Structure 1
């Protein structure tokens, strides 16, 4: 009958929340639709692309502001719930999911962001 407690301990050992699996930052690849270099800011942080940029996970959408002539001045990237969060609800329950929500690590952005630019 020792198997049930060992199984429970093992199950707790493999359950993780998005806070542990997801980093608080996420890398997104920013590029222009015309394949040319693009410049701008993401949350006030400058970038020159195409480039991978690390952004903080959050529920709020990202506004990528381009200063490159002929490109859309603002590209909005909405966040969505990470699949790891749903797995955590199933395996970890209320406490892990609450931590994920409070930390913001339950959110993710599209990995590739393309700024619309003239050819």
Structure 2
């Protein structure tokens, strides 16, 4: 293969990969705690977790809801999505191709590091 073809293929591959797609994981580790420090059961995306603790949020471009049926605690706590920092770097350095890849793979999204469920 000629040098021109190798350079062209490598350049195309570089333009088609997104920074957030390469640099970030499929999930985001979120510290979920309670306002009173007590242990409760919560559900995120249909999976039950015991908190306080770390919950893995799947990066799928949706706002997450932390739900609980524990008496005295908020039934639902929002975990809003936000744009991953690597996505902005990709727009500046890679342009449309990389940012489209990040968007298509949902890796452009992340969540807050900490979520507190309000409990009495």
> How many residues end up aligned between the 2 structures?
107
Give 2:56's aligned residue.
54
Return closer, same or farther for 1:16/1:97 CA change in 2, 3 Å cut-off: closer
Shift of 1:16: 5.6
Gapped regions of structure 2 (runs ≥ 5) = 1-6
- State whether structure 2 residue 39 is matched by structure 1 residue 37: yes
What is the alpha-carbon distance in structure 2 between the residues aligned to residue 77 and residue 58 of structure 1? 13
Q: Are 1:58 and 1:79, in contact at CA under 8 Å, matched by a contact in 2?
A: no
The runs of at least 4 aligned residues of structure 1 exceeding 3 Å deviation read none
Give 1:23's aligned residue.
25
Give 2:78's aligned residue.
76
After TM superposition, the score normalised by the length of structure 1 is 0.83
